[in-house]
Structure 1
Amino acid sequence: MHQVDEQSRSGTSQPQSRPRILHIGGPIKHNPELYDQIAEEFNLIRPELAELERNAFMQSLKDRRWGDFDAIMRPFWNTGGEMGQWDRELIPLLPSSVKCWPNSDKVLVDATLLKRLKKGSRLVNIARGGLVDEKALVDALESGHIFAADVLNYLDRNNLATARLGSFEKDIGLHGTQYNTVINLFFVGYILTQIPTNMILDKVRPSLFLPAVMVCWATVSAATGAVHSYSGILALRFILGFVEAPFFPGALFLFSSWYTKKELAVRISVLYAAGQMTGAFGGLLGSAIMSGMNGVAGLPAWRWLFIIEGVATVPVAVAAMFILPDYPSTTKWLSEQERNLAILRVAEEANVEDRHSDTSAFGGLKMAFTDPILYIIWMMQLGLNTAAAFTNLFRRWSKLLATTLLLSAPPYVFAAILGICNSFHSDKTRERYLHVVWPQIFCSIGFIISAVALKTAARYTSTFMMMSIYGSFGCILSWVSTSLPRPSAKRAGAYAVVNADSNFASIYASYFYPAEQGPRYWQANVANVAFSMACIGMALLLRFVLQRCNRLLDRAAESADPTEAEQVASKWQISPDYSYTL
């Protein structure tokens, strides 16, 4: 049997004063002075020779035969070489307690350094003295630029409603339902483009692709200030949807390439909250431009609105080229040690590295479309988006823009805070189902109150309850990453399909609220309750499906046939050791 420290033999789990080191280098008898020295500082775990055979060693890691340990000495096989291809399989199998793994047994692990590492830190490359703090790495990724870009994305998309408060419709010559057609044509371009552009993003550098997209939509938005006809505004709105489409699903995919299960949902919620704050306060900027720029250079205020908000995106896009990360293995402004840790973080959870060259774009998209889980999540998100269309009513609260902004801002702020808090708790507990369900129940109560109440106080209170629908948003979209995790091309396609197809709701749900049915809009509110219940039903179905997948994986792992687990896992393009998040 393998040699372990006395505390491990006794089976106790008391805190140890010395770090435990798994040593898989040369026999101790060849280096007595060396091992006399490290024996004073560490509790050594010495596997037997048979346990150092590659497959046996990996199986021992899977079975947790040596329990928790703090570091590995010499994690390679009889080659004397550097850490290489083999580590793509080793690293995801390491227990979470491991803080470091030297790439040479000629370098001693510093016991003092190992003990003072903060939680979440790992000593990635002892030979080069690289110390990487995981929290610092995560913080370095959050420059705020992607959130600022999301704000500008929503501003340039929604400024048409503010322009309508000026002479926009009169100057362009819109009448009847033409304004609604202009609004809806944006979503046609928006839906058509998301899938192909996310396929491209999986193969190119996000730090170049996303800023290029930003410059494109800034140009189109600014050009809208020069439009003079109905056909012109139709063309520009379609193109705007076309060039804005890659950003949000691209940001979701980029997040899923960097953040773990315990970090992803809250980041998605913060990204979405940035857009919600645009809904809450973006009109203030628009109204300031509309009131202060009318007649400047002989142009009506609405033209300046498009020009200014479009041009404002360009410097943010240029800065993003230097600040946004690419993928963990390709981000140049990270050190080698930081890249190693970034790769490890996402590889640990999926038990396989996230390699973007393994699968073609169309191959990944085919995998996504043939996985039933994709359609469950899509229907879940479609139900949420349909019910959430009630926010179109906010603009009808008052003929005065200032009054409308003052009334609508608090519900938006409430929704943003609720979404972030709910996603934070979901990440912390690594649970998605209940965190999707309870906001839908709460908002359904709000829809019922809105359908039956006529008093202003009750109806305004119900608005806050209805806005809780957004509490599920980050949890659903993070469920995409953990339910369709690999390969990266499949995950990219899944994010694009879910986001694009659920936006069909933006086209048809706007017709749920004819003015003659106000103020209760009871038909729409009843429909909203039904869509929220459908969202809950899809969440329950997804939980059942994922539970079944986990049971099949566990059963295959316990089988006497070593190939059964691989066969089961290969159907879903995952590692046999993967566990779906419920």
Structure 2
Amino acid sequence: MTILGKIREVVWGAPAATKAERHLIFKIDFFILTYVCLMYWCNYLDRANLNNAYVSGMREDLKFKGTQLNQINTIFYGGYLLGQIPNNIIMQRVRPRIWLPITCLCWGFFTLGTAFTTHPHQIMVIRFFQAFFEASCFVGVQWILGSWYKPSEIGKRTAIFTSSGLAGTMFSGIIQGGIVGSLNNRHGFAGWRWLFVIDFLITFPIAIYGFFFFPDTPLSTSARYLSEHERTLAVERLPEVTKPRGVLGWSLIRRVIASWHFWAFVLLWIANSNTEMYSSNAIFQLYLKSAKNPAYTTSQVNYIPTSVSGMGIVATLLLGWYSDYNPRRNRWHVGILLSLTAITSGALMLRPVTRAGRFAALILNGCQYAGQTTMFAWANDMMRGDDAKRSVVIACMNMFSIAVYMFWSILFYNATQGPDWFKGDWAMIAMGLFLLIVTIATFLLQRRQEKQEAQTDGFRDVQTHKEILQEDGKA
């Protein structure tokens, strides 16, 4: 094997055993990853733009008061919460190739509408409905990736997917910083309004691309670029699904609630996602906006926090690769590491010696985004036998974490508590400790499931051996 081949194996995993499977993986990587990454990139672009607009003139133009920004974010996540399960259930009946682009178009038009608002209350209404349609993206794609990729493949692909969202957050800050200097007051439009118009113009063609090229799931795909043999191979190369897409009914509720997967992974993602609070509540931007001696320019307020997304991208890619290196053993290691980075960032913010120390705490918190990759890859891997259950549990993970986020952000990370967010610092440390406990508990439950599966497989092997002996005796 050449040096380049060895590097490729370390970074991207060992190549498939057959030429046909290697061609299949290349095709699904290209058509699935390009669309889901572009969709998630514009999803975060359209979501993060509000925080960038707020510190770039929207607050003054629309006369925001008190915690209205936090109220808008809470309302946004209310719509996002309500959309989690319905969107994934809809995709059990409506082809993802149709539903995902439709939702992308819808949230794009709501983004455009924000450019023409004149009062914070109008933004509250728009962001609620925008969020409902945006809810399809993250959990829907996590389910799709689990439908196409093997356990040893999914972590790296999920890392690329989630990194594209962080790139959207970073790009939003860069766009807004550029708009302030080039488009502000062009044609009577303030710079922050242009941000929403430009974001819509980016979102629209991405949705159209999905209608034509997204391949649905292995069992339902009709993509012209996949041959009949490749469609069959896409199903056969994955672990067996005993309950395929669309098996709903009352039994689904029992299959979800009665399983350890629901309780463990929901608590795991509540803990992990709520250690992202410094990053997801624009604490860096708000801190820079309020800073004195020196004070930061509007462009700096937009540009400097992109370092948080940069840290998130690096951590996501590295930890996603690490989790795939040994899927059943390494994913819980990531949970332990992220609990430690959360505790450290909270402690640094609690007692920052210098301004540089506060910057370090806020940038370090970007590591928490890596949990989006590992925790959902872990859940996908443990529930491969039941497609509908896997879809609902993944949706519930995000739904319940958002339910906690909605009041957690108001209690500990609202705009009026800056620039120190003293209560939020203690809340970050506490959530990091909670993540540590739940990660260990989830790993122990995984070990128990593995032992049960090994016993079941052994019993089946014995039964098969007996049947062979009986057939030989008859012969």
Fold match by TM threshold 0.5: yes
Superimposed CA distance per residue, residues 349-396 of structure 1 (whole angstroms, 9 cap, x where no aligned partner): 3x3367324x12664354223323212111111112222101231113
Do structure 1's residue 352 and structure 2's residue 252 form an aligned pair? no
Q: Deviations over 1:5-48 (max 9, x none)?
A: xxxxxxxxxxxxxxxxxxxxxxxxxxxxxxxxxxxxxxxxxxxx
Whether the aligned pair in 2 keeps the contact of 1:376 and 1:538 (CA below 8 Å) is yes
Q: Bigger radius of gyration, 1 or 2?
A: 1
Cα distance per residue 1:37-93 (max 9 Å; x no partner): xxxxxxxxxxxxxxxxxxxxxxxxxxxxxxxxxxxxxxxxxxxxxxxxxxxxxxxxx
Helix, strand or coil at the partner of 1:398: helix
Deviations 1:392-440 (A, max 9, x none): 3111332323223443223321221122111112112122211221232
Tell me the residue number matched to 1:381: 269
**What is the CA-CA distance between 1:315 and the residue it aligns to?**
1.0
For 2:326 and 2:451, how far apart are their aligned partners in 1?
A: 20
Rate the CA distance shift 1:556–1:300 in 2: closer, same or farther, 3 A: closer
Q: Does 1:324 align with 2:214?
A: yes
Find the partner of 1:428 among 325, 343, 347.
325
Measure, in 2, the Cα distance between the counterparts of 1:136 and 1:222.
35
Kept in 1: contact 2:110–2:126 (CA 8 A): yes
**Aligned match for 2:455, one of 549, 552, 555:** 555
The answer to whether the 8 A contact 2:115-2:197 is kept is yes
For CA contacts below 8 A with separation 6 or more, give which structure has more relative contact order. 2
Show the 5 A alignment for 1:178-577.
178-331=68-221, 332-333=223-224, 334-346=226-238, 349=239, 351-352=240-241, 355-357=244-246, 359-360=247-248, 363-391=251-279, 392-399=282-289, 400-430=297-327, 431=329, 432-511=331-410, 512-513=412-413, 520-559=420-459
* Cα deviation 1:156-200 (Å, max 9, x = unaligned): 122222322455345545433333322221111110011011011
- Matching of residue 168 in structure 1 with residue 67 in structure 2: no
Structure 1 residues 513 and 202, CA, compared in 2 at 3 Å: closer, same or farther? same
Unaligned runs of 5+ in 2: 1-13, 290-296, 464-475
**Deviations for 1:125-179, whole angstroms, at most 9, x for unmatched residues?**
xxxxxx8645434433455221111111111122222322455345545433333
SS of aligned partner of 1:387: coil
Letter matched to residue 51 of structure 2: A
Shift of 1:123: 7.1
TM-superposed deviation, 1:455 = 1.2
TM-score normalised by the chain length of structure 1 = 0.69
The 10-residue stretch of structure 1 (324-333 or 149-158) with the greater mean CA deviation from structure 2: 324-333
**8 Å contact kept, 1:380–1:536:** no
8 Å contact kept, 2:74–2:406? yes
Alignment partners' CA distance in 2, 1:133 and 1:354: 28
My pick for the range that moved more, 296-305 or 530-539, is 296-305
**How far apart, CA to CA, are the structure 1 residues paired with 2:15 and 2:376?**
28
CA distance in 2, matches of 1:336, 1:168: 53
TM-score (norm 2): 0.84
The question of whether the paired residues in 1 share the 8 Å contact of 2:342 and 2:428 is answered with no
| CA deviations over 1:476-518 (Å, ceiling 9, x no partner) | 1111112222321111111111012112243223231367865
Contact 1:202–1:488 (Cα < 8 Å) also in 2: no
SS in 1 for 2:65: coil
Supply the AA of the counterpart residue of 2:100.
Answer: L
Q: Is the 8 A contact 1:454 1:520 kept in 2?
A: no
Structure 1's 119 and 307: CA in aligned 2 closer, same or farther, altered over 3 A? closer
How many Å separate the matches in 2 of 1:179 and 1:518?
13
* Aligned Cα root-mean-square deviation (Å): 2.7
Q: Aligned match of 1:156 in 40, 46, 53?
A: 46
Q: Distance in 2 between matches of 1:296 and 1:467?
A: 34
What fraction of aligned residue pairs are identical, expressed as a percent?
A: 23
SS in structure 1 opposite 2:151? coil
* Amino acid of the structure 1 residue aligned with 2:245: H
Q: What amino acid is aligned across from residue 384 of structure 1 in structure 2?
A: N
* Aligned partner letter, 2:426: V
Q: Which amino acid aligns with 1:222?
A: L
Match for residue 580 of structure 1?
A: none
Describe the SS at the equivalent of 1:203: coil
SS of match in other structure, 1:120: coil
Is the 8 Å Cα contact of residues 444 and 466 (structure 1) preserved in structure 2? no
Report the Cα offset of residue 558 of structure 1.
Answer: 4.2
Instruction: Work out the CA distance in 1 between the residues paired with 2:250 and 2:314.
Output: 38
| Residues 287 and 418, structure 2, Cα contact 8 Å, conserved in 1 | no
Q: Do 1:132 and 1:337's aligned partners in 2 also have CA atoms closer than 8 Å?
A: no
SS of residue in 2 equivalent to 1:497: helix
Residue identity matched to 1:416: I
Distance in 2 between residues matched to 1:454 and 1:363, nearest whole Å: 56
SS at match of 1:246: helix
Asked whether the equivalents of residues 241 and 387 of structure 2 are also in contact (C-alpha less than 8 Å), the reply is: no
CA contact (8 A) 1:365 1:489 kept: no
Distance 1:312 1:187, change over 3 A: same
Closer, same or farther: CA 207–556 of 1 in aligned 2, 3 Å: closer
Give the length in aligned residue pairs.
436
Does the C-alpha gap of structure 1 residues 366 and 276 become closer, same or farther in structure 2, counting only changes over 3 Å?
same
The aligned counterpart of 1:6 is: none
Distance 2:108 2:274 in 1: 28
Matched, 1:146 2:45: no
* CA distance in 2 between partners of 1:250 and 1:423 (Å): 19
Local SS of the residue matching 2:18: strand
Counterparts of 2:460 and 2:205, CA distance in 1: 60
Q: 1:443, 1:482 → 2: CA distance? A: 25
Are the counterparts in 2 of residues 284 and 405 from structure 1 also a CA contact under 8 Å? yes
Cα distance in 1, alignment partners of residues 63 and 419 from structure 2: 30
Measure the CA separation in 1 of the matches of 2:19 and 2:304.
52
The answer to whether the Cα contact below 8 Å between 1:453 and 1:520 also exists between their aligned partners in 2 is no
